[in-house]
Chains A and B, each alone.
Chain A
């Protein structure tokens, strides 16, 4: 599955995961159009995506996840607004599968990015938790 992802990859979902709006870049890249079920065209794990979406809906808070899928490391941001979810994603790294050297180098790079991003997300969660515990705004 070839999905062109970039910083302008944004779509809006209704409560049944149907696409309400989609950015031209994403529509051109993966063919998602308004009315389509977004779960059919995702490059990342469907169950993980649904889990994070449900969490965002339940809590009313934006969630970030970093997930590997279809040769890419993606950072996905899910923001609940009213009954809808605004989803954006950007590519943090890509596999280079042309040569074995390129493959190993890109794997190392993705692993490092994944580790660094996981730390950042952990720190952000910790910071939010501390703010809640401390009663900060």
Chain B
């Protein structure tokens, strides 16, 4: 799925009100449902970005980790709704400890380079187990 893009629109209460024509992630059945049913535990990650876009009325663009990889997210306020464009960038490769370590390093570099947010230092202790 790396590189594939999809888009959707949510209303002021984070319900999915529209799904882009290209729907590679199978969001269609979730139309009318809260976004967090489609993205479990996603509120802690995306919620603050949505709040920022709503509060400022300006676009928010960043990279986040969610569901086995990083994704580029662009959030465009449109009236009381938000148009969200997402692109999968990198995938965690869990096959072996070697591929896990390598892909995690790539992901951490990406997250560290995204801006003022600092990389999560909790990774350091965990990664001592990896090659």
Contacts and interface: CB of A to CB of B under 8 A. Distances in A.
A binds B: yes
A68 B67 contact: no
Nearest to B119: A100
A107 B126 contact: yes
A70 B95 contact: yes
Interface residues of B, number: 25
Interface string B87-118: 00000101111001000100000010000000
A50 B118 CA distance: 43
A104 B123 contact: yes
A99 B65 contact: yes
A111 B128 contact: yes
A97 B92 contact: yes
B2 interface: no
A98 interface: yes
A19 B50 CA distance: 52
Interface in A31-76: 45, 68-71
Interface residues of A, number: 21
B95 A104 contact: no
A95 interface: yes
B125 interface: yes
Interface string B61-83: 00001111000000000000000
Interface in A67-97: 68-71, 95, 97
A103 interface: yes
A101 B121 CA distance: 11
Interface of A: 1, 45, 68-71, 95, 97-104, 107-108, 110-111, 114-115
